[in-house]
Each structure stands twice: as structure tokens, then as C-alpha cells.
Amino acid sequence: MFFSLSGIPPLGGFLAKALVLFSLISSNEIIAAGAMLLISLVSVFYYVRVVKLVYFEPKKLTSFDESFQTPFSTSLFNLECTIVAFIMSLFIYAFFNPTHILFIGNLLFLGLVGF
């Protein structure tokens, strides 16, 4: 996933970035294309660094601290878990049924335009 986000050539992220870049160049948006290339180069550094840290760096083992709490040691129904579950359920609903989101967007647009 990180390689695709960074735009490594055989993956889908590369194709998406290449198509956007070529469309910017064909519409004479050279400054935007240069900014996109610069941002892509910076993002490649960070994405590849995450992969290096996860797979190639040795894991640092620490002693067990009694005050350390895992996510499973807290209450399951605290406020943060409820908010995250609610937002994730909205995202899943919007993925499978986007017509309601589009309808709300149309209503907001019509309200902002003044029709």
C-alpha cells in the first residue's frame, strides 16, 4: 500500500500520478506539475521510511510497566471508541450507498447558490 501511495511504477498509484501529471502538463500548468513532483518526492521519502522502520529495523523491547495500558485494557464503550465506530459506520454506509451523500451535496450546493 505504501509503495502504491508513493508511486512506484508497476502499481496503481504510479498510474494515477502519471495521468494527473500528464494532464497538468498538457493544460500548460507547469507550476502545478512541478509542485506535484516535489510533493511526490517528499512523500516517497516518508512512505519508504515507514516500510524500512516496520520491516528492517530491529524491534526495541522494553520492560513491562504496570501503568502501561493496552487498548484492550480500557473500557470498550468509552467515548473515543464510540466516536470512531460511528464515523467508520458512516464511511462504510457512504461507500455502499453514495446516493444519499450526493443528494445532501446537491442540496448544500443549491442552498449556497440561492436557487
In this predicted structure, the answer to whether residue 77 has a pLDDT above a threshold of 70 is no
Residues 6+ away with beta carbon under 8 Å from 25 = 33
Tell me the average pLDDT across 24-39.
Answer: 91
The Cα 87–Cα 75 span in angstroms is: 19
Domain ranges of the chain: 2-55, 79-113
- Mean pLDDT for the chain? 80
- Determine the Cα angle at 16 with ends 11 and 19, to 5°: 125
Output the nine-digit C-alpha cell for 105.
451535496
pLDDT at 34: 92
